[in-house]
Structure 1
């Protein structure tokens, strides 16, 4: 690992980051400078970033929907394109009385970013989140805090049975990279994020199918399932969602390269 002697100037940071292959070296240099507690910490952060660690893991947080979401080693970094899914979900959350808040589930929650962002933007929801990765669950509990409850387990398995048939919005940011494409991902994801958060099986839709198979039993009448996917998978994903009795549609945002399949349980 290359060593950098403090103090480091902005120019020196940019030069080192560019040499390490960082495309947005100036932006990253500003973030490192603003986040480091002292020159020694700054040098350590630069060494970690130059060694290939994701910037968000170096900083200890990722910006998402205006929030600073804590992330760390072994935790999937929330993508900015997924903010589109949260915006779609917010529009579907029914406005209910405080005595009967809308019920939201965040499956494959990772850092808990989606559920935390949605709950923070609304006037009270009953939030439940789950992930199979212990590191992700620990991280999600930090981010969700008093906004909801985070469970450790596979998809719906750890959730309270009392939620069945009561869920108004079901967020499922499932892994959707086809297995053979995982090795083509940038090293930041392929090396430093858990494979279980990336690998969606042969066609990338294996976990989506598992979620859809149970979703109708958990959704309330009129409740909606929202799943992010890729543009090339959207037609198959929409068909899968529709095959389970949900009214399916695809929404997309060209600006953020985001594609979301929404399935609504008929009332």
Structure 2
């Protein structure tokens, strides 16, 4: 006779207790997500699911142990991370999308010309990682021509996987480039044709003070932007200036300690007549935006913070 199914509520309680004991702050929420993942149901419907068999309980215990004992990020364990309107595949070698980036995406989408106007907007995502920005824009604007640039091979594999998944789901395919966002010759065939350049580059000033699950698992190449956090941002801004049309838009995410410095970098570049700083939902400085104009207009308008 097969063993009786184990009630879901009890499994969730046990998982949450183990996660809390292991130092996980959102233990209850993570327990529900892990159990729903193993059960193959949405988290909102978990408690309506039938009881779990012994194999499922063992898999939940394995994931909880990996989360608490090895500090593996929850998103890596589940294999996906929410990204605005999408869920993207993530795992070792790629930066995990954060909710703050959605604000940057929405800012850019609001500034693209309305669909149906006869203009196909060209958008470039530099340091694309898993594809969160590029694929969000392609999903929301099927009329856009979206290019995604990524340098590091492990992240590039996740980008290609997510791009293929979204294309299979019916989104307009994006164009993927294996390249360096600090290379001034990158995408030279698009110079002066791009309506928006967007980026969530490596921007954290080098530190060992990040949570262990970040330092120990997410790639340093996606986290750190040198001692001042600007090693990638400075040449990236120069590249963006060569790609953008007059009146084109730049949006760059940054560390919450470097907003003024990034705004100054953009202002000094010379092609941007309007530079603004934006905060995230917690009120912390999070991204800088700018609009290109000709040199004379830039000199007249200056930098607005």
TM-score when normalising by structure 1: 0.90
Residues 148-175 of structure 1: CA deviation (Å, up to 9, x unaligned) = 0222221165954321111111111111
Q: What residue number does 1:133 align with?
A: 152
Q: Among residues 16, 19, 25, which one is paired with 1:17 in the alignment?
A: 19
Bigger mean CA offset, 197-206 vs 53-62: 197-206
Q: Among residues 220, 240, 255, which one is paired with 1:215 in the alignment?
A: 240
Q: What residue number does 1:184 align with?
A: 209
Mark the structure with the bigger radius of gyration: 2
Cα distance change of structure 1 residues 193 and 238 upon mapping to structure 2, 3 Å threshold: same
Q: Secondary structure at the match of 1:80?
A: coil
Q: Are the aligned partners of 1:73 and 1:193 in contact in 2 as well (CA < 8 Å)?
A: yes
Q: What residue number does 1:166 align with?
A: 193
Alignment of structure 1 residues 243-262 onto 2, 5 Å: 243-245=268-270, 246-247=272-273, 248-255=275-282, 257=284, 259-262=286-289
Deviation, 1:97, is 4.2
Bigger mean CA offset, 71-80 vs 97-106: 97-106
Q: What residue number does 1:266 align with?
A: 293
Cα distance change of structure 1 residues 254 and 65 upon mapping to structure 2, 3 Å threshold: closer
Q: Are the aligned partners of 1:231 and 1:259 in contact in 2 as well (CA < 8 Å)?
A: yes
- Consecutive unaligned residues of structure 2, counting only runs of 5 or more, are 40-55, 168-172, 295-305
Q: What residue number does 1:198 align with?
A: 223
Bigger mean CA offset, 70-79 vs 246-255: 246-255
Cα separation, 1, equivalents of 2:235 and 2:256: 20
Alignment of structure 1 residues 134-153 onto 2, 5 Å: 134-145=153-164, 146=167, 147-153=173-179
**Backbone CA RMSD of aligned residues:** 2.1
TM-score when normalising by structure 2: 0.79
Q: What residue number does 1:232 align with?
A: 257
Deviation, 1:35, is 0.5
- Consecutive unaligned residues of structure 1, counting only runs of 5 or more, are 1-5
Deviation, 1:69, is 1.1
Q: Among residues 42, 45, 49, which one is paired with 2:60 in the alignment?
A: 42
Deviation, 1:256, is 6.3
Deviation, 1:244, is 1.2
Cα distance change of structure 1 residues 148 and 99 upon mapping to structure 2, 3 Å threshold: farther
Q: Secondary structure at the match of 2:158?
A: helix
Q: What residue number does 1:155 align with?
A: 181
Q: Among residues 95, 104, 124, which one is paired with 2:123 in the alignment?
A: 104
Q: Are the aligned partners of 1:178 and 1:203 in contact in 2 as well (CA < 8 Å)?
A: yes
